[in-house]
Structure 1
């Protein structure tokens, strides 16, 4: 994914933002400033809510970067090159060159991101106590929201379907159990298609039941996951057919 804004190259990894991440920033800031923070703590001027909301939305992007950076550093530990880390509308992407050398490596690379998100949530929850003692209600509310969002990020990413981390972890376990990397990845991709369709249908049901657009984001996210997983499944099928054709040609050349 092409980066619109480049942030640096920690450990040789190009880190940046896609322009679509600005859409999420605006939506998060608006939701926090207009609804969530005023409901959690009152007595502040509208400008204070907007400024604080922009800061907390930016901190959530930092947390997303930490999630993807953990994947990248785990991949580097196993000798893989990381082409880039990019944040965009639906989260973040760490693009890797090469394949993990064994199932354990694939599993640990997949789990590194959710582990980083849970660790970030733990630090934020520890920081809520001092904010409360200082009677900094707005800071306390924002830190609590950030902690919850990091927990949600970790749990959501562990759902068992590619391209989510849980799908990669599922593929690693199947690879270890069956000894077939390609079959494991195909199973994870199929699970991702099913998961995405279930999410999209759930969002549609929510919108119909509430007669609102409450489920629109779930529909879009489910559609995206199903589309990416389907593309991965198709790519794996093409690779398998290519290997079958080459194997058949090799057999035909034997005397």
Structure 2
């Protein structure tokens, strides 16, 4: 995923976005302004819903950046260079220049992102409870919505198939078991293809029930299958390595 805009660096890591991230902001803010916020906090003006929706969408994109930074900073700790972080419509990508020396490093790098999302979700739940009042406010509901989304991001990313974080956790465990990162990648790639197909089928099921959210699941499933297939193909051409913890 090539970046369209470069915003600067954090800890020396180039941070950028693909133009499609604007689509994410529009979809999230529109959904919040048209349906979610009016249902949760009725009686406000359209302007209030839209301003809140846009602000929440921007904060959600920032939470995706935190997720990717957790991966990248952990990679730097294990002396794995980070080329860049790029945010796009379906999430974010941390481009690493190689593997850590051990499966333990690979495990911790993969787990860092979901751990960050889990932490943000927990903070959001706590913040929402602190803001709780007799009548729900836009701020309270926005914080709780962000909490739920970050917790969902954590759970979804732990599905056991590359390129998802859960697939990279699986790869690290298989690397530790087999002593061969190439074989571990090949197995995790097959798992990723299976996960992608299941996500796409869930999207089809939603479309059958006339839920437009199925289109998003179809797109995500398609991307997962493509990425998993590409990683499996690359694994077959890598030199054999036997580094273990």
Specify the TM-score bucket, using the shorter chain as the normaliser.
over 0.9
Residue of structure 2 in register with 1:188 after alignment: 188
For residue 213 of structure 1, report the CA deviation from its aligned partner: 3.6
What is the TM-score of this pair, normalised by structure 1?
0.90
For residue 237 of structure 1, report the CA deviation from its aligned partner: 1.9
Residue of structure 2 in register with 1:237 after alignment: 236
> What is the total number of aligned residue pairs between the two structures?
240
For residue 134 of structure 1, report the CA deviation from its aligned partner: 8.9
Residue of structure 1 in register with 2:89 after alignment: 89
More helix by share: 1
For residue 2 of structure 1, report the CA deviation from its aligned partner: 2.2
Runs (4+) off by over 6 Å: none
Across the aligned residues of Structure 1 and Structure 2, the Cα RMSD in angstroms comes to: 1.5
Residue of structure 2 in register with 1:251 after alignment: none
Looking at CA atoms only, which structure, 1 or 2, has the larger radius of gyration? 1
Task: Measure the CA separation in 1 of the matches of 2:25 and 2:54.
Answer: 8
Indicate the structure whose relative CO is greater, using CA pairs within 8 Å and at least 6 residues apart: 2
The answer to whether the aligner puts 1:124 opposite 2:132 as a matched pair is: no
- Unaligned runs of 5+ residues in structure 1 are 244-255
The answer to whether the aligner puts 1:78 opposite 2:75 as a matched pair is: no
Residues 106-125 of structure 1: pairs in structure 2 closer than 5 A: 106-125=106-125
Task: Measure the CA separation in 1 of the matches of 2:165 and 2:218.
Answer: 20
What is the TM-score of this pair, normalised by structure 2?
0.94
Deviation per CA, 1:98-133: give whole Å up to 9, x if none.
211100000000000000001111111111133224
Task: Measure the CA separation in 2 of the matches of 1:157 and 1:212.
Answer: 22
Task: Measure the CA separation in 2 of the matches of 1:190 and 1:29.
Answer: 35
Go from structure 1 to structure 2 and tell me whether the alpha carbon gap of 1:189 and 1:132 turns closer, same or farther (over 3 Å shift).
same
Deviation per CA, 1:180-230: give whole Å up to 9, x if none.
11100111011001110111122113312x145441111111011001101
Task: Measure the CA separation in 2 of the matches of 1:166 and 1:6.
Answer: 28
Residue of structure 2 in register with 1:221 after alignment: 220
The answer to whether the aligner puts 1:37 opposite 2:47 as a matched pair is: no
